[in-house]
């Protein structure tokens, strides 16, 4: 059986370079800055429902993704013969950075300008996944599952706990 996930990573990894690896690492980790800014924004706008839901979703989601990593224990792509890059101690599935990107997509404030929203949507939904593939840190399925958990977990929590406890999706 052909491992399509591995072929996809191998294709994107051919664009990798040690010269740009540091920059790509910064690009991936900027997701933390984006989410911290969203926390600050909700705090400043006195949108406590958004603030609490983001915090609870983040903590619970990181717990879920970490639990899945240790339960499924899928090796990262670099552990395969295709790549030999950047070893990390934890397993690949699901991607925590993609989870955080999905969380950012869910909480992207609607009151931001259209230009800023578009830039952030491209960054969170396209650039982060591409960089993770180029660096061969995750398989495509790891990234997709991380994005899905990040985007839908707050919606599920909000529904389970009642919209009055937190917020409706629109501001």
Tell me, what's the pLDDT at 86?
45
**Residues sharing a CB contact under 8 Å with residue 29, sequence separation 6 or more, in sequence order:** 97
pLDDT in tens, the chain (171 residues): 357 877 777 777 777 777 787 888 888 899 999 999 999 999 999 988 889 999 999 999 999 999 998 898 887 786 444 344 444 557 778 899 999 999 999 999 989 999 999 999 999 999 999 998 888 788 888 999 999 999 999 999 988 877 554 555 544
Phi, psi of 86 (to 5 degrees): 30, 90
**DSSP string across 84-105:** -----SS--SSPHHHHHHHHHH
Q: Outline where the chain has alpha helix (H).
A: 4-13, 21-44, 48-72, 96-107, 114-122, 128-134, 140-161
Structure tokens at 83: 């790549």
Domain limits, the chain: 4-161
Taking each helix axis as running N to C, give the angle between helix 140-161 and helix 48-72, from 0 to 180 degrees, rounded to the nearest 10: 140
Give every CB contact of residue 89 below 8 A, 6+ residues apart in sequence. none
Helix (H/G/I), strand (E/B), else coil: 154: helix
């Amino acid at each position: 059986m052909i491992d399509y996930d591995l072929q996809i990573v191998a294709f994107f990894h051919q664009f990798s370079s040690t010269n740009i690896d540091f920059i790509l690492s910064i690009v991936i980790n900027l997701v933390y800055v984006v989410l911290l800014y969203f926390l600050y924004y909700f705090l400043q706008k006195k949108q406590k429902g958004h603030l609490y839901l983001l915090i609870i979703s983040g903590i619970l989601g990181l717990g879920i993704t970490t639990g899945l990593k240790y339960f499924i224990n899928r090796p990262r792509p670099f552990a395969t013969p295709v790549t030999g890059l950047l070893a990390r101690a934890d397993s690949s599935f699901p991607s925590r950075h993609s989870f955080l990107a999905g969380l950012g997509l869910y909480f992207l404030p609607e009151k931001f300008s259209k230009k800023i929203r578009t830039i952030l949507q491209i960054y969170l939904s396209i650039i982060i996944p591409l960089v993770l593939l180029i660096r061969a840190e995750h398989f495509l399925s790891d990234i997709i599952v991380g994005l899905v958990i990040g985007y839908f977990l707050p919606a599920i929590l909000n529904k389970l706990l009642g919209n009055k406890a937190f917020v409706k999706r629109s501001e």
